[in-house]
Amino acid sequence: MIPQLSAHEARVIGSLIEKQVTTPEQYPLSLNALVLACNQKSNRDPVVDFSEQAVQGLIDALIRRHLVLEKSGFGSRVPKYQQRLCNTEFSALQFTPQQRAILCELLLRGPQTPGELRTRASRMAEFTDVSQVEAELEQLAGHAAGPLVVRLAREPGRRDSRYAHLFSGEVHGPEPAIAAAAPDAEPHAAPPGTAQRLAALETQVSELRAELASLKQTLERS
């Protein structure tokens, strides 16, 4: 079964995967380092401004689902965190370096074309050309655990179709290219600002969870 992630959980997991590959000497990440990674202005879309409290709430939720592991180094009192989604001894999902890099970019930036993925994912894995990216995407779309990416219908003004990851469920926006249109179906779109409102609500929920956990700890100690 493919783990399902909220948009904010996808940012946390994507940031952990990225730093695991690009800065292994600094991995696992402390809470502060993970907040900086999530809020990074480069290689992110959209750019976010998570608080430490919000990220801690997301981490706690992912730990409960066994998608993140708290692991501190010898002699270190600072908790550090590593992802368990893929390519670890605890993970059912094992990818090639190219597939992992592609998924990481999709988690961090959202839907992208094979050409964009080749340019952006090359910092984490080597790609000979765009056709290799397309081949890896096809492998991910037909993964044994279930489709992990989907090709979206080509948008007006774009030469190539974009691909999106499926760790956050069905992709909203342009219909998947492989999906057949329902007879006489009327086009529909999400109301303006829906994505922003949902993102704000997710942040509020994460912060409330963190506050509740802190309150429980205080009550248990008293």
Does residue 124 form part of some domain?
yes
By residue range, what is the domain housing residue 140?
A: 97-165
Core vs surface per residue 16-28: b (16+ CB within 10 A) or e: bbbbbbeeeeebb
Report how far residue 123's alpha carbon sits from residue 50's, in angstroms, rounded to the nearest whole number.
25
Each residue of 30-54: pLDDT tens digit? 999 999 999 999 999 999 999 999 9
CATH number of the domain encompassing residue 140: 1.10.10.10
202 pLDDT band, cuts 50/70/90, is low
CA dist 141 and 63 (Å) reads 27
pLDDT of residue 71: 86
Q: Is residue 27 part of a domain?
A: no
| Residue 152 maps to a domain | yes
Residue 144 lies in a domain: yes
**Has residue 154 been placed in a domain?**
yes
Which DSSP helix (H) or strand (E) runs through 82?
A: strand 80-83
Residue 26 falls within a domain, yes or no? Answer: no
pLDDT per residue as tens digits for the range 114-172: 999 999 999 999 999 999 999 999 999 999 999 999 999 998 988 999 999 999 998 86
The model carries a pTM of 0.77
- The structural domain count of the chain equals 1
What is the Cα Rg of the chain in Å? 19
Residue 138 within any structural domain of the chain: yes
Structural domain contains residue 158:
yes
pLDDT value of position 181 = 33
